[in-house]
Amino acid sequence: MLIEIVCDKFIEHGKPREPITFHPGLNIILGSETGSNSIGKSTFLMIIDFVFGGTDYIAKLKDVQSKVGEHRICFAFKFQSGIYYFSRSSVNYKEVFVCDRDYNVKDSVPWSMDKYTSFLQKEYELNLPGLTFRNAIGRFSRIKDAFIDERHPIQQVQREKESSGIEALLKLVELYSDIEKKASLAKEAKNKYEAFTSAQKYKYIPSASKQSECKKNSSIIEELTKQLDELEKQYSDSLCGMAEIQAKLISDTKQELSKFRRQYSRLTSELDAMREDQNLNSSKFKGNFDGLIHFFPNVNLKRIEDIEQFHENVTNILKDEFQKTEDQILNTQKLFKFEIDSREEMLRLLGVKANVPRVIFEKYSTIKNKITKLQEAND
């Protein structure tokens, strides 16, 4: 139990008063003989709540914090395991320091509020399933400036659900375990239902919301089924009994095969054109200059030969570039050929005949997919 509270800001006749002590049983805080109603009774009750891990003393009594300033509340508990001394500051109020009997801090590392309230919960033997220490005691404090609603006596905070207060009481008298599993199942069912309805709302799950929509879907399913039957009759060897996912795979594979074949054919055309250009020969630039000398005896033959040599050098450079480009094209063609062969092999293993166009498999897959979604919506 709490046995005392000490603070140097508690003043009596102009001096810090002695520790305020508590005894087993009922402890009463009385007013003064003069009948004054502003002597700090409510403030002291808030300090008691502060000692038990509350925060309203700091959060709601702003005038006290501004007028008194930073101060330290010291307090002691007596349990079967011994007497424990603590202190808590009005500034760093989310920490609790362990002290000696003179309230000198023993350990420079403070306890967190979770550790402190867990300690009190253990010593007060309130280790009940699903119940925290503050939830066990917080709703039974009714102090001025705190939340008070006499019409809802077990409500801890404003707008708290009544079910939460009832659950807390059941936990306190150790009756909650009987309904805990059912409450958990009910909560899980509610979450599933909300997730399901939200998925329907945002069209993540197809659903027919009205009977008329369900009938319309059934009519569409009937029409699509007829189209499916006609396709299967026309291409019975390839489509009969084929699953939607298989038809989709075949359609995609045929599309990829067509793409790689076009790319392979384009590279072949580029290679043929380049080889045509590569037939440039240095002989085209060479000729017999005898006739030229006959008509122009003073021509600079050396200059003309230099130009011819330049042409030959350019031709050699172009031949090297042609060779590099040809090698690159041939290597790329090998990659495309590998992709073409792998898709042809896949189609062969799937038993697809070459004369069935890709669009047939795509149409078949699309129809089956529509039927599945409409049926799921109706279900």
Cα distances (angstroms) measured from residue 56 to each of 49, 144, 164, 215, 219: 8, 11, 21, 61, 65
3-state secondary structure 50-66: HHCCCCHHHHCCHHHHH
Instruction: Look at residue 280 and tell me whether its pLDDT is greater than 70.
Output: no
- Determine the pLDDT at residue 103: 96
- In words, the CATH class of domain 2-31+38-174 is alpha beta
- Determine the pLDDT at residue 10: 92
* Closest C-alpha to 360, from 257, 238, 225: 238
* Chain centroid to CA 39: 53
264 burial level (CB within 10 Å; 0-12, 13-18, 19+): middle
pLDDT tens, position by position, 202-233: 878 778 878 898 899 899 988 888 887 887 77
- Determine the pLDDT at residue 244: 61
pLDDT tens, position by position, 148-201: 677 877 777 777 888 888 888 888 888 888 788 888 899 999 999 999 888 888
Please name the helix (run of DSSP H) or strand (run of DSSP E) that holds residue 222, with its range, or none: helix 211-234
Higher local confidence (pLDDT), 137 or 114: 114
Instruction: Look at residue 287 and tell me whether its pLDDT is greater than 60.
Output: no
Q: Taking the CA atoms of the chain, what radius of gyration do you get in angstroms? A: 46
The whole-chain average pLDDT of the chain stands at 83
Identify the weakest region by mean pLDDT among 18-32, 41-55, 273-287.
273-287
- Determine the pLDDT at residue 284: 47
Q: What share of the chain is helix, strand, coil (3-state, %, to 5)?
A: 60, 10, 35
Instruction: Look up residue 17 and give its DSSP letter.
Output: P
pLDDT tens, position by position, 65-87: 999 999 999 999 999 999 999 99
Predicted TM-score (pTM) of the model is: 0.50
* Closest C-alpha to 88, from 79, 76, 80: 76
Every domain of the chain and the residues it spans:
2-31+38-174, 175-205, 215-378
- How far apart CA 378 and CA 215 sit, in angstroms, is 9
- Determine the pLDDT at residue 191: 95
